[in-house]
Structure 1
């Protein structure tokens, strides 16, 4: 196959981009960060609004979860296409177009008269959101000098750390005080400003455009295996996993399509996803470390508020307040980490992050059903420090040594794997929690019944207080359920702590690096 002739590039490929300075640097950083914040926020803001959306559109809450699933599936498919799309359309043009289409799809979501229309709009929203996060990394890195690349990643990381926490809080507040369409309408002013500011500053810094042929087979296989896997992960718990023929079929389709996808992409001249990136030790080691760590962290962020609400009786607002302090140290430390990163080995910073994560989950493993709010918040506050040291150095390791033209592909592929592991972490931990809770419940109930002196005494004490015997039995059953769910949650926290310690070894399989991001990391030219 002959190589395609590139179109006239926006500037010579060999000419490096000068860094931005002054007001343009500030405005560019704000615009890119706002776009990422809007994107990440929308992946979680609808979660707490599902009951309101379902009730308003006349569907069950189970059907309403497709509002989340549809966005996740479309987003997961489009993220790894970032490199190919950038080469074909240019990174600035693609980024701004993604923002504009994101705003338009948000308007369609808010105006949706039925669940079918809403799901279609969410599919569009998820699809156009895909390139935004990796391209924001690329554009931001091109705005700073190599010596300040860590600071650039710090600013980028702050938005990705705060948005997942803000999403449920903001979504719940809007649903309670206004109407659910406003969780989508709030994107309009943010998106319009981000698109205008980005184009104003970056339109003369466009990357070269190459008219590459479309890898239709690779794209079709990507859609099939990612879509099947994402739906399987989202619906697995609801359908009892592999006891369901639907899940078995989805799993088989995903596995077969994935195998064919890898074979095809490695042999194609113009693959839609550049899998050869995994040949690099830093890329493969960094991607695995950040993805597994993200999956563990995200699983914990899902289980903890669920446990607080379903077991300890916390309201959604109170559970959100317990989780909110995670952003304190993350925001405070991120600029500091970005400043020192070029001067130290990024592996030490990432190892410290995993060690702190292990301590955090070890502390949570000590929780009991009588834990107070202050004790709950201590590890949450500490986790913010780990998050500040987690994303920035590992992203730096992943992107180290990549030539400028590979940056969008590397950023897109690494974000894709991380997002997929986040979904897997959520599904696995929620299922594991259910099963460990059932196991602990069955073990605890072995000590109940007339043959148990302790149980008999407990029933007697409750009835002596004026409670009927059935009510006493129900009270004890509730106590057993609470204890079993708590033990199930702490099992997950223990396992997560151990796995975080094991990830430290993986970090040290990468090559040593100080200023890990290449001089023209964001150019993609």
Structure 2
């Protein structure tokens, strides 16, 4: 990962590819799907988990937070770990460790044990996605590499959508423990397949010096930043001493981290990768694009259940069409996508995402299921064209030893972008709802005889009940107006990302250096 490292890192020798590329791809995809799925599968089960383990709903959110914090911390370590142990060993060990951590989650008898097990699960999950991406790039020849990235892009889109639906179904029909226990056989199968297929792969490993200053400042900085983002809303942001302290510690730690990593000879996170034009442009597009997408994915289910009266299952069904087109288009993009300028595909993607956001900014409380699902279906086209081209752009000017590190760094920044977007969106929605509520009630006076008559009629002769009914209507209407405001903003954000895309320059053969290393 260091720019001055004289030896090549983990790289396959010529002819050391898998005996069966399709089977190896299936094993890598299974592990990646399992890992990405676990970022959301527990969300809908939190009330059940909290009830069974005798914890509060606030304590239960640490099941999600502990996973996210640990994953964010582990992601940038991917490059160093792959240099030290080799990509295949790192993949196998991480996947087996993920299965063991999942088993510990499934047998947890207290909230404390579950949170610790989830933290362990998140930490070992960190390297899995970028290493999967790097291995996929290396086992395919250059002309077919787009197909591998298209598959990974499809997993990135579909797994988070499937998570809440699958988690709810397992919890309702079996028990919450099985949302974790199901990973045990899947992880073992994936590790056995990939280990068997790549057992003859020759990798050169190094013994890079451990950058303890970088590691400690990374853990402290990212940990405090993630806690700040997670606790910000409930602690009233910077009105809270806790949030101020977390912000100061995060700022100092991350400042030291950045300065140290840019000047150290052998950094644990190689920020020098940002010197590559396409990696820099693609990573910017990925961070902002994923953050905006994460905001959409967060808001739609909440809006459907809170303001439209949908149940969790129906909310899941209304959002599910988002994954249809990515599944259908992924093989076509993989096969023919390389014939089109990646910047053009990404531009179409962000234009579609922008248009669907503008459509939602015109929603009202009377919009029907078909309309909601239809816009979700259309948005799927944008997502199908988003991840694969942007991934190919950001990997295109990295050499073989930089692919794993670059993928880990980009995924780390994307994860932080999603976390920041979740907190910012929740805060902005609440704030805009309050402002619209104040505006809607400004000219309403229950002392007005005419208004009293209307409110009493709404309460079927009871003025107090009528006032409660009216306030409930205003709350939902204000929430809807806040929803519309945010989607109007997201529409412009998606359009602005197109500028980042066109900062990149062809050619966009993903990981050209990796190809050379692999002998293709």
After superposition, residues 162-241 of structure 1 pair within 5 angstroms as 162-241=158-237
User: Are 1:17 and 1:523, in contact at CA under 8 Å, matched by a contact in 2?
Assistant: no
Superposed CA offset, 1:391-432 (max 9, x none): 000000000121101111011101110111011111110111
**What's the counterpart of residue 91 of structure 1?**
87
Superposed CA offset, 1:205-239 (max 9, x none): 24311011111111001101011111111111111
**What's the counterpart of residue 346 of structure 1?**
342
* 1:147 maps to 2:143: yes
User: Are 1:286 and 1:510, in contact at CA under 8 Å, matched by a contact in 2?
Assistant: yes
User: Are 1:399 and 1:517, in contact at CA under 8 Å, matched by a contact in 2?
Assistant: yes
**What's the counterpart of residue 156 of structure 1?**
152
**What's the counterpart of residue 510 of structure 1?**
504
Q: Which moved more, 1:449-458 or 1:148-157?
A: 449-458
User: Are 1:215 and 1:272, in contact at CA under 8 Å, matched by a contact in 2?
Assistant: yes
Provide closer, same or farther for how the CA distance between residues 208 and 182 of structure 1 changes in structure 2, counting only shifts above 3 A. same
Superposition TM-score, scaled by structure 1 size: 0.95
* 1:473 maps to 2:505: no
**What's the counterpart of residue 411 of structure 1?**
407
**What's the counterpart of residue 265 of structure 2?**
269
Provide closer, same or farther for how the CA distance between residues 4 and 385 of structure 1 changes in structure 2, counting only shifts above 3 A. closer
**What's the counterpart of residue 256 of structure 2?**
260
User: Are 1:402 and 1:521, in contact at CA under 8 Å, matched by a contact in 2?
Assistant: no
**What's the counterpart of residue 330 of structure 2?**
334
**What's the counterpart of residue 491 of structure 1?**
485
Cα displacement (A) at 1:269: 1.2
Cα displacement (A) at 1:4: 8.4
Cα displacement (A) at 1:503: 0.9
User: Are 1:285 and 1:510, in contact at CA under 8 Å, matched by a contact in 2?
Assistant: yes
Equivalent pairs counted in the alignment come to: 517
The correspondence for 1:54, drawn from 45, 50, 70, is 50
**What's the counterpart of residue 500 of structure 1?**
494
User: Are 1:137 and 1:411, in contact at CA under 8 Å, matched by a contact in 2?
Assistant: yes
Superposed CA offset, 1:160-198 (max 9, x none): 111101111111111112211111001012111101001
Cα displacement (A) at 1:10: 7.8
Superposition TM-score, scaled by structure 2 size: 0.96
User: Are 2:343 and 2:389, in contact at CA under 8 Å, matched by a contact in 1?
Assistant: yes
Give the alignment's Cα RMSD to 1 decimal: 2.0
After superposition, residues 357-436 of structure 1 pair within 5 angstroms as 357-436=353-432
Cα displacement (A) at 1:341: 2.3
The gaps in structure 2 that reach 5 residues or longer are none
Cα displacement (A) at 1:57: 1.0
SS in 2 for 1:203: coil
Cα displacement (A) at 1:244: 1.0
Alignment partners' CA distance in 2, 1:500 and 1:455: 43
Provide closer, same or farther for how the CA distance between residues 195 and 462 of structure 1 changes in structure 2, counting only shifts above 3 A. same
SS in 2 for 1:520: helix
* 1:109 maps to 2:109: no
* 1:439 maps to 2:435: yes
Alignment partners' CA distance in 2, 1:17 and 1:439: 64
Cα displacement (A) at 1:505: 1.2
User: Are 2:326 and 2:383, in contact at CA under 8 Å, matched by a contact in 1?
Assistant: yes
Alignment partners' CA distance in 2, 1:174 and 1:151: 32
Provide closer, same or farther for how the CA distance between residues 16 and 394 of structure 1 changes in structure 2, counting only shifts above 3 A. farther
Cα displacement (A) at 1:523: 5.6
* 1:25 maps to 2:21: yes
Alignment partners' CA distance in 1, 2:501 and 2:14: 31
Superposed CA offset, 1:313-343 (max 9, x none): 1111111111111010011111212222221
Cα displacement (A) at 1:472: 1.2
Alignment partners' CA distance in 1, 2:119 and 2:248: 24
User: Are 2:67 and 2:122, in contact at CA under 8 Å, matched by a contact in 1?
Assistant: yes
User: Are 2:10 and 2:401, in contact at CA under 8 Å, matched by a contact in 1?
Assistant: no
Alignment partners' CA distance in 2, 1:35 and 1:289: 26
Superposed CA offset, 1:456-497 (max 9, x none): 46325435xx33111111111111011001011111100000
Provide closer, same or farther for how the CA distance between residues 400 and 223 of structure 1 changes in structure 2, counting only shifts above 3 A. same
Cα displacement (A) at 1:304: 1.0
User: Are 1:88 and 1:212, in contact at CA under 8 Å, matched by a contact in 2?
Assistant: yes
Alignment partners' CA distance in 2, 1:337 and 1:496: 26
User: Are 2:17 and 2:201, in contact at CA under 8 Å, matched by a contact in 1?
Assistant: no
Alignment partners' CA distance in 1, 2:449 and 2:14: 79
Provide closer, same or farther for how the CA distance between residues 260 and 521 of structure 1 changes in structure 2, counting only shifts above 3 A. farther
Cα displacement (A) at 1:91: 0.2
User: Are 1:29 and 1:155, in contact at CA under 8 Å, matched by a contact in 2?
Assistant: no
User: Are 1:38 and 1:187, in contact at CA under 8 Å, matched by a contact in 2?
Assistant: yes
Q: Which moved more, 1:389-398 or 1:152-161?
A: 152-161
User: Are 2:10 and 2:83, in contact at CA under 8 Å, matched by a contact in 1?
Assistant: no
Superposed CA offset, 1:52-76 (max 9, x none): 1111111100011111100000000
Provide closer, same or farther for how the CA distance between residues 503 and 6 of structure 1 changes in structure 2, counting only shifts above 3 A. closer
Provide closer, same or farther for how the CA distance between residues 489 and 146 of structure 1 changes in structure 2, counting only shifts above 3 A. same
SS in 2 for 1:449: coil
Alignment partners' CA distance in 2, 1:460 and 1:129: 57
SS in 2 for 1:213: coil
